[in-house]
Amino acid sequence: MRAAVFAVATTLLAATAGCLGDEEDAAPAPGDPAFVRSPALDVDNRSAHGQMRSHNAGQNCMHCHQARGPGLGRFTVGVTVLGPDGKPHANPVLELYGAPPGTGAPVLVSLPGDALGNIFSTDPQPFPDQARFVVVRSQDGTLRNQMPFPTESGACNQCHRPGFGVTLKRMM
């Protein structure tokens, strides 16, 4: 009996391994140097208040929206902004500063987010050559959060993943 069970299990394992196929046959994943991006994808693409066409809240936008990815446009900034309830916050605003906010430094860039809480843009940014201080806020300014140090990347959700998202806080 044991021999029969072993024979069946071995046969099933061998069959399953055969179904997995060769890795050589698999299409290159986004980010792989072998990934071939269609030039038709290289278009301007940015979020705007009220839009509802973005997707994949909380995921790293730059995984697909990059030189070796299938996303529409090559993003320079991409982030999902969450409200105090932990859900995507509609129509947020992202601001980039050259010095710490609150020191009199002017806003260098202001990007509107969409109705699904995503902020994204293909507009040229100084990353990675110049670091920027980041502030995210609600459209009315009553909710806000900021990074305590500058960043050299607009791929916010690379680090800010579920459980450590970009979350707005009520201003006192």
**Model confidence pLDDT, tens digit, residues 94-146:** 999 999 999 999 999 999 999 999 999 999 999 999 999 999 999 999 999 99
* CA gyration radius, the chain: 22
By three-state DSSP, how is residue 162 classified?
A: coil
pLDDT in tens, 50-105: 999 999 999 999 999 999 999 999 999 999 999 999 999 999 999 999 999 999 99
Q: Which domains does the chain have, with CATH numbers?
A: 2-170 (2.60.40.1120)
Residues whose CB is less than 8 angstroms from the CB of residue 70 and which lie 6 or more positions away in sequence, other chains included:
30, 37, 41, 64
The total number of residues shown for the chain amounts to: 172
> Which among 157, 152, 155 has a CA at the least distance from the CA of 67?
155
Tokens 């509802």 locate to: 52
- C-alpha dihedral sign at 56, 153, 124, 147: positive
For residue 27, the one-letter residue type is: A
Per-residue tokens: 41:
């994808």
DSSP 14-71: HHHHHHH--GGGSPPPTT-TT----GGG----B--TT------TTS-GGGTSSTTS-S
Whole-structure pTM value: 0.83
The stretch 41-57 carries a mean pLDDT of: 97
Query: Is 78 in contact with 65 (CB distance < 8 Å)?
Result: yes
Amino acid 15: pLDDT: 45
Q: Which amino acid is at 71?
A: G
